[in-house]
Chain A
Amino acid sequence: MANQQLDVLVICGSLRKGSSIPGGLKNAIDWVSRRKDQPFKDKPVALQSAAGGILGGSRMQYHLRQSLTSIDALLFGRPEVIVTFAAQKFDEKTLALKDQTAIDMIKLQLAGFEKFIRRVNAKE
């Protein structure tokens, strides 16, 4: 799907690897960023990550933030969605998120993100 057609982009499912962005995802960003009419330019972006450990992919998020800054995305700030100890928070069979705190945080972020989009779009 062309990013140009979206109001928003949520990058999620970004399991950190080696404290950073998965190579496959970075490769995708590298490819699309070379287009004329670069698709991330002025695009509101929110970040979410889930990981098995105590940091929940936070280092990866800061790295992604850095790359998206270079291509002029408009990055949403807080609340951040960092799902730590993810293996305990998802139902392994249904893949449903069971953790109420995480669910509430995602809802909060999406609501905040909606306001953010309206605000930054209004300034264009």
Chain B
Amino acid sequence: MANLNIVSICGSLRKGSYNAMVQRLLPSLAPEGMTIKPAPSFAEFPLYNADIQNSTGFPAAVNTLADAIRAADGVIFCTPEYNFGIPGGLKNAIDWVSRLQNQPFAGKPVALQSASPGPVGGARVQYDLRRSMMFLDAFTLNKPEIFIGSCASKFDEKTGELKDETTRGLLKQQLAAFATYIARVEAKN
């Protein structure tokens, strides 16, 4: 299989984020030939406003993130769920980059992961993200889905180490499936 360069985007800005722990773990679980790196941050994006876009243009940080997405073979979102939906900051980032010409998610393979302290593990945020990705013509991987429920008990809060073998196995399975999926959708371009 060809080398695959993947970028990961964490939906939380919190330092101790469980989803950031998942994100940091991914490179060690990737199949051979897959490299996973964190995407440039969206933390400094202003709130999306078409007036900014039409006057001073796209902020540099927006172009930086968009370029990283365009250059990647695929994107993995690791995100918490806020109020049954996508965290506002993450949605704002998607809103910004989606307004660029050569919209970066078009035709881009995408995989979704979410971790949350509750039992459901972020199912709703994934379905919302899936809908926005559909609008942007991304190719979103179906299965296996990664919902890491009760995440506080599965990670060591200090070291960020994943203590749950089932979750580790599922993450590995998804990354392998993502590699197969990328090969499949790229072959159809």
Chain A residues proximal to chain B, CB less than 8 Å: 17-31, 33, 59, 63, 66-71
B30 interfacial contact with A, CB 8 Å: no
B173 interfacial contact with A, CB 8 Å: no
Q: Which of B37-70 contact A (CB under 8 A)?
A: 47-49
| Contact pick for B84, options A19, A20, A59, A67, CB 8 Å | A67
- In the complex, the answer to whether B47 meets A19 with C-beta atoms within 8 Å is no
Give the total number of A-B pairs whose CB atoms are below 8 A apart.
Answer: 88
Tell me what chain A mostly uses at the interface: helix, strand, loop, or mixed. helix
- In the complex, the answer to whether B48 meets A30 with C-beta atoms within 8 Å is no
Chain B residues proximal to chain A, CB less than 8 Å: 47-49, 82-96, 98, 124, 128, 131-132, 134-136
- In the complex, the answer to whether A69 meets B84 with C-beta atoms within 8 Å is yes
Which 7 A-B pairs have CB atoms at the shortest separation, nearest pair first?
A27-B88, A23-B92, A23-B91, A24-B47, A26-B88, A70-B84, A19-B135
What are the residues of chain A within 8 A of B49 when measuring CB–CB?
24
In the complex, 24 of the A-B residue pairs with CB atoms within 8 angstroms, ordered by the A residue number, are A18-B91, A18-B95, A18-B132, A18-B135, A19-B131, A20-B128, A20-B131, A21-B91, A22-B91, A22-B92, A23-B48, A23-B90, A24-B48, A24-B49, A24-B92, A26-B82, A26-B85, A26-B91, A27-B47, A27-B91, A28-B88, A33-B83, A63-B85, A63-B131
